[in-house]
Amino acid sequence: MTSAAPSIESPGSPPTPASGWATGLGVVALVYAIAGILVNGLGLAFMGFSEQAAAAAATGPVQWGLGGLAILLGIVLVIGAVGLLRRRRWGVRMTTAWVVARLLLLLVAGVHGWLTLPQQVDAQMGMMEERLAEARSGDGSPGGSRSVRVRAGGDFDREAMLKWSKLAFVGGVAVTGTFPVVAGWILSNRRRREEIAAWSS
């Protein structure tokens, strides 16, 4: 019994269409990149125009540097996403480089943010105390909404704020790092690497 000979495409035949994973990954990457650029850009702008926000950040030039690098990497991912959508190998290379750089940046930002979290909480407490003092001006009674009221021993004691800030910080890092990990896993899959090898350079 003879087996059928494998079909061989002629040099002039059109390439086999890629599966939908490249389109899906490219679209998600594009959305992730644009959202990251907007969030980091607005964050840096807010820090630049708000003394309170700059004080709450409590990180000085490091925060500006991390935000600037995140925006730069966002631009790299936009280009890589376009390459994925067009089925280009350079798009895969750029996206893969972005995955590595983004995870490294996330590690540095995570360690730095965790170490400076108590300082940031102290700055936020100071901001709320200033707002409380402003709300009490006049008849001397506590004013303003509950979000800015701080009693002695108060609604916003430092330990409770630090606890919730740590939970929010860990959750934010986990959410931010999910896509780079998933994208790296998708692009490192052997079957997909074989498909990528047939793409145009």
74-95 residue pLDDT tens: 999 999 999 999 999 999 999 9
Which residue type does 168 have?
A: A
Distance CA 131, CA 42 (A): 23
The pTM of this model reads: 0.72
Domain residue spans of the chain: 21-137+144-196
Q: Work out whether the CA dihedral 115, 118, 124, 126 comes out positive or negative.
A: negative
What lies within 8 Å, CB to CB, of 74 at 6+ separation is 33, 34, 36, 37, 40
Distance CA 115, CA 62 (A): 13
User: How large is the average pLDDT for residues 57-71?
Assistant: 79
120, 158 Cβ separation under 8 angstroms: no
Residue 200 carries which DSSP code?
B
Q: pLDDT of 169-192, one tens digit each?
A: 899 999 999 999 999 999 999 899
Q: pLDDT of 113-165, one tens digit each?
A: 888 888 877 777 777 777 777 666 654 554 444 444 444 344 567 788 888 88
Distance CA 22, CA 196 (A): 9
